[in-house]
Chain A
C-alpha cells in the first residue's frame, strides 16, 4: 500500500486540494502527482525515468489539453509504459453525452461525478 502512486489531472485548485487531503488523511497512497492540464500529464508519462502512477483521476474540462485529448494522446504512449494504469474520469458534468463518450475509451475504468468522496477514493484505490 505504501508504494501506490495516484495522479490528479485537474485545473481546479480547490478540487486538487480536497482530493490530496482525503488521500493523505486516509493513507490511501504514498505518492501523489498533480498536473493542471492534460498536456503536462502526458509529457510526464512519455518522458522516461519518471514515476508512473497506478491510478489517474482525470478531469474533462481543462485549458490547453482537455481530458478527451489526453486520452487520445495516452492511447499512443501507453505501449511504452510497462505498468497497468487505471484511469477514472472525475467531472462535474452530468451530461449523458460525456458519460457515453467516456465508455468508448477502453482505458477509462469508470466515470465519477463530482464531488468525489472519501468512500469513492477508498473504493477505487487499493
Chain B
C-alpha cells in the first residue's frame, strides 16, 4: 500500500514537471509575440511623436526666421547662434521628414508608413522643401531684401504645412488606435488559448493522478488506521530509535504500557531505562547495545516497574535498519504487555484436571513422548481407550504398537517418520484391539517439538476414539452405495443450488450425464449453457423462477448438449426448500431419458406404420364397398327389371345387361385382387434394376401408340443409374406414367414426356414431366391417386392406373409427388426409396 502511494506520488511529481514544461513552453512562445506587439505599438507612438514634432519644428523655423528678419531689419544683422539654431532645426526637420517617409531607422522609425500616410507626407514635400529652402536662403543671404522675401515664403508654406501635418497626425492616430485594438484582441485570444491549454493539460495530465493519489492516500490512511487499530487491540506498543539523532520515539500504546507521559520520556533512552525493573535493567541495556552494534536483534522479555508500583512483564522485539555501510541507523520495535498471558498459563495449569474430564467425555486421549529419555506420559483417557485403568501400565513406545492391528502398524510408523522428515504434524487412522477385546477405530494426531537448536525434543499427540462414528459411517456408506447403484442403473443424478451463495453442486452421476470431468465445478450460469436452445432455456428458467418464488415442484423434459457435444434428453425434477417464506435451497434430480425417448420414437414409428396400414385398409374397404356394391346394385336392379319385363325382347335386353355387369364385376374383382396382392406381397422382391434400360424397354412397348400420336419421349436418365426395386412394379409404373403422358396429351400440341433422375435428400427421384392437359390439383388433388377416379372424361380411362402405381411405389418404401397446371402439363416426382 505504501509502495503504491509512493509510486503514485512520484508519478504525480513527474506529471507536474510535464505540466510545468507545458506552461514554460507557452510562456516562451508568447513572449516574442507580446514583445513584437509592444514594439510595434511603441514605434507607432514614436511616429506620432515625430510627426507632432515636425509641426513644432516648422513653427520654430518660421519663428526663428521671423526673429532673424526683425533683427536684420532693426540692426542690419543677426546673432550667429540664431543662424546655427536655424540650421540645426532645418536639418532635423529634413531628417524627420525622410524618416517618416522611408522608415530608414532615423529617430528609431523602422516602419514604412501606410499608403495613405505616405501619400500625405509626399503631399507636404512642396511646403517642407519651401520652408527649408527659405531658411537656407536667409542663412546664405542675411539681408533685408532676402529676409522680406523669406518671410513671405514662410507665411505661405507654414500654415499649409501645419494643416497637412495635423491631418497626418490624426491619420496616424486613427491607425494607431486601430492597430492597438487588433493587438488587444490578438493578445486576448492568445491568453485565452494559453489558458485553455494549461487547464486542459492540468485536467488530462495532473488531475487523474491527484485523484489516484487521493485514493491511494485514503487506502494508506485506512491501512494505517487498521494497523493502528490492530496494534491497539493487541495492546502492542511501537517504538523507534534513531541512532544518529539519539532520539527515541514512542507511540501512544507505549506510553500506556509504561504508564508515563511524553514529558517524562523526552525521547531519551535513559528515561526508558529508568522504568525497567532493577533486576533486568543491565541485561536489557546489554541486549540493546548488541542490537546497536548489529550483532543480534532484540527479542527479549523483561519486567518493568511502573510509577504506580505495578510490575508488568514486557515482551520486546525489534528489527535493525542498516545503512549501506552495514551500520545500524535505526531500530524499530514493539513492546507487548504479556503479564496477563503469563497469568493465563497459570490458569491453564490449574485447568488440567477439567481437561482430563473433557478428554473422558470426548473419548480423546493424549500422550507425550520424551524422545531423549524415551519416557512416555499418557493422559487418563489414553489409558482407558487402550482398555487400561489410568496408571495400570508404564507406557512406552511399544505400548502403542502392541495393541495396534498388525495391518495398520506400517501405516502409523510411516506417518510418524514423515513427521520427522517434513516437520509437519501428522494425522493417521488406525485400529486397535483394546485389552478387553473387540475393535476400536482411532484417529490420531501428533507433532514433534524441537529445542532451540532444532533437535527433536519431544512428541505430543492425541488419540480420538472414533469407533461409533466409523460404524455409522460404514452404515451410511452402505446406504450410499445402494443409492449410487440405483442412480447409476436409472441414470439419475442429483443437483442443488444454495440460494444464499448461489453455489451449485452436482453429484457424480449428474457430471456423467453432462459428460463433464469429475473435478468440474458447475455454476448456475454455466449450467444453463448446456440446454440446447433458447426456447427450452427460457422455459427452464421460468419454471425454476416459479419454483423459487412459489415453492412449486417442477418436472421438465429438456434437450441438452453435453460437454462432449452430444445431444441428449434429460428429465429435470426440481424442488425448493423454504424457511420463513424464503427459498434457501433449490435441489432436484436429473435423469438421462435418451433410452425412453428412443423407445417413444420407436413406438411412434410403429404407430405411424400401423396408421398407414389402417388408412390403406380403410381405403381398401371403401373400394370394395363402393365398386363391388355399384356392380352388385346394378345387377340387383337389372334383375328386378328382368322380372318385371313383359316381353321376350325386353328380358333378352336385360340378360345382355347382366352379362355386361358380370364382366365389369369380374374386372373390378381382378383389379382389387391386384391391389391386394401389392399390399400383401410383403416380400417385395427387390433387385438391381438399370433404370435407363427399363425406360427404353417401356418406350419400345409403347412405340406404336407414340408414333400414332406423334409423341416424343426424352429419356435423360444416365445409363449407369441402378435402383433397387421390384422389376414387375417398375415395368407397371413406367408403363402407366408414359402411357398416361401420351393419353392425356393436349389437343393443340404433340405430346412430349421427359424423364430425369435427381437426388433429393439422399433419395433417388425419378421425374416424369409431360406437356399434356394437366390436372386441376385444387379440385382433384385429393382424389388423384384414388381408385376408379377419372378426370378428363376419356372413355378409356379406368381410374385404376395411378392407384396401383401409388401402391406399388409405397410398398417399395417410396412416395409420389405431383405438380400440375391445367393446359400446361403434369410433373410426377417418384421417390424410389
Contact = CB atoms under 8 A, between A and B. Distances in A.
Interface of A: 12, 14-15, 17-18, 21-22, 25, 36-37, 61, 63-64, 69, 92-95, 113-118
A116 B640 CA distance: 10
A113 to B, nearest CB: 8
B791 A114 contact: no
B790 A63 contact: yes
A16 to B, nearest CB: 10
Contact of B793 (A64, A92, A114, A117): A64
Contact of B625 (A22, A64, A95): A95
Contacts of B644: 25, 118
Interface in B648-667: 657, 660-661
A63 B29 CA distance: 106
B791 A63 contact: yes
Given A25-B644, A69-B779, A95-B622, A115 B791 contact: no
A22 B638 CA distance: 10
Given A22-B641, A118-B644, 9 more contacts: A14-B660, A21-B641, A63-B790, A63-B791, A64-B792, A92-B629, A92-B630, A92-B633, A114-B637
Nearest to A62: B790
Given A25-B644, A93-B625, A94-B625, A17 B657 contact: yes
A69 B660 CA distance: 29
Minimum-distance CB pairs A-B, first 5: A92-B630, A114-B633, A115-B633, A63-B790, A115-B637
B657 A14 contact: yes
A18 B638 contact: yes
Contacts of B660: 14
Contacts of B636: 115
A interface, over-half SS:
loop
Contact of B637 (A15, A63, A94): A15
Interface in B614-640: 622, 625-627, 629-630, 633-634, 636-638, 640
B637 A93 contact: no
A95 B622 CA distance: 7
Contacts of B779: 69
Nearest to B625: A94
Size bracket of the B interface: 20 to 34
B788 interface: yes
Given A25-B644, A94-B625, A114-B629, A12 B634 contact: yes
Contact of B661 (A14, A93, A95): A14
A37 B661 CA distance: 20
Contacts of A115: 633-634, 636-637, 640
A115 B644 CA distance: 16
B497 interface: no
13 contacts: A14-B634, A14-B638, A15-B633, A18-B634, A63-B789, A63-B790, A63-B794, A64-B792, A92-B625, A92-B626, A93-B622, A94-B625, A113-B633
Contacts of B625: 92-95
B797 interface: yes
Contacts, number: 68
Contacts of A118: 640, 644
B635 to A, nearest CB: 8
Contact of A116 (B626, B637, B791, B793): B637
A20 B775 CA distance: 33
Nearest to A14: B634
Nearest to B635: A115
A112 to B, nearest CB: 11
A35 to B, nearest CB: 12
A4 B139 CA distance: 164
Contacts of B622: 93, 95
B786 to A, nearest CB: 9
Given A15-B637, A18-B638, A63 B630 contact: no
B626 A95 contact: yes
Given A15-B634, A17-B657, A115-B633, A61 B641 contact: no
B214 to A, nearest CB: 88
A84 B269 CA distance: 137
B653 to A, nearest CB: 9
A124 B375 CA distance: 129
A122 B41 CA distance: 136
Contacts of A92: 625-627, 629-630, 633
Nearest to A60: B626
Contacts of B661: 14
Nearest to B622: A95
Interface in B704-754: none
Given A21-B641, A69-B779, A94 B629 contact: yes
Contact of A63 (B629, B638, B657, B797): B797
Nearest to B636: A115
Contacts of A61: 626, 788-789
B626 A37 contact: no
A21 B660 CA distance: 17
B669 to A, nearest CB: 15
B550 to A, nearest CB: 48
